[in-house]
Amino acid sequence: MKIVFAFILLLFGLFISNFVIEKPLIDNYKVIKVDGKILYEKSGKNMTTGDLFASNEKLSFLTQESRAAVISPIKGRFVLTPNSIAGEASNLLPAMSNVATRSGAINSSFDLKNNFQGDYLILEEQKVAVNIASFPLNEKTFFYLQYELKGETIAKKLKNQNGNIILNTQDIYTIDGIKMPIPLKIKMSLYYKVEKDNKTTKISDFVLIAPDNENLKSEIKVLLENLNTKETDVITEEVASFLYEFYGKPQTENVKYWLQNHF
């Protein structure tokens, strides 16, 4: 009788287990970067780079533009945004991937204009190869940038080396020997000057993006620590995609050079 009763309990347990609804798995996310302001509702603290939080954490977005780059070692990188659905505070959107960036020499004004447009990101120093048959470079024939800073118009000659024009943020924002604070973004105009013909050609307008290097290193450190890969090309793509989504258009070689220098 006891054996029969035990067998009935076993069957009953198996029957009930088929109707048990499994609880959704709670994943943890690490914060790479925050734009705007996001609060943890329970503690009232600001979300910041390096935070670890659970996917069921209740969050408060102080503006509809607030967002965060977050990463899970299991699921990958996401963008955390406010949710438009009533009762849902946040939304995890798949992050951008496989960003195409320019490589190779620039042969024409059209190529230059396409290269220098929109939000143009520079990580400390960027080299841009140009065709010196189309754009001779020397002391009297060169590219320069023009921008407004503190009410003054600044013209900054760009250095060149072996057919490359060099954009170095420290040089660009050093005026009369004084290093100025580097702004995150500022509107620039690119010109090409040929002194012997006394001719100056405007190439394009763009917005130069120059992130704070220490903040950026903290953000990329979080990203790299949570990537499940050691493949250099994959790492470069992930970093470039994050930069494109949260800063501006990166150049692959600039990203590689910066990563080698700091990581």
| pLDDT 10s digits, 8-47 | 444 444 444 443 444 445 689 999 999 999 999 999 999 9
Torsion sign (Cα): 75, 78, 81, 84: negative
| DSSP per-residue codes, the chain | -HHHHHHHHHHHHHHHHTTPPPPPPPPEEEEEEEES-EEETTT-PBP-TT-EEETT--EEESSTT-EEEEEETTTEEEEEEE--STT--EEEEEPP-------S-B-SHHHHHHHS-SEEE-SSEEEEEB-TTTS--SSSEEEEEEEEETTEEEEEEPEEETTEEEEEHHHHTEETTEEPP--SEEEEEEEEEEGGGTEEEEEEEEEEE---HHHHHHHHHHHHHT-S---HHHHHHHHHHHHHHHT-B--HHHHHHHHHHH-
Please provide the average confidence, as pLDDT, over all residues in the chain. Answer: 86
Separation of alpha carbons 236 and 103, rounded Å = 14
Give dist(CA 170, CA 172) in Å, integer.
6
- Read off the pTM: 0.82
Looking at residue 15, its pLDDT comes to: 43
Is the model more confident about 9 or about 90? 90
Residues 6+ apart with CB under 8 A from 112: 106, 130, 190, 192, 203, 204
Q: Is the pLDDT of residue 219 over 90?
A: yes
Q: Which residues contact 103 (CB under 8 A, 6 or more apart)?
A: 251, 252, 253
Query: How far does the chain reach from its first CA to its final CA, in angstroms?
Result: 70
Q: What is the mean pLDDT of residues 205-215?
A: 96
Question: How distant, in Å, are the alpha carbons of 59, 60, 71, 82, 155 from that of 44?
Answer: 9, 9, 22, 17, 46
pLDDT of residue 3: 52
Sequence letter at residue 172: I
Residue 112 CA from chain centroid, whole number: 23
- Mean pLDDT over 59-74 rounds to 92
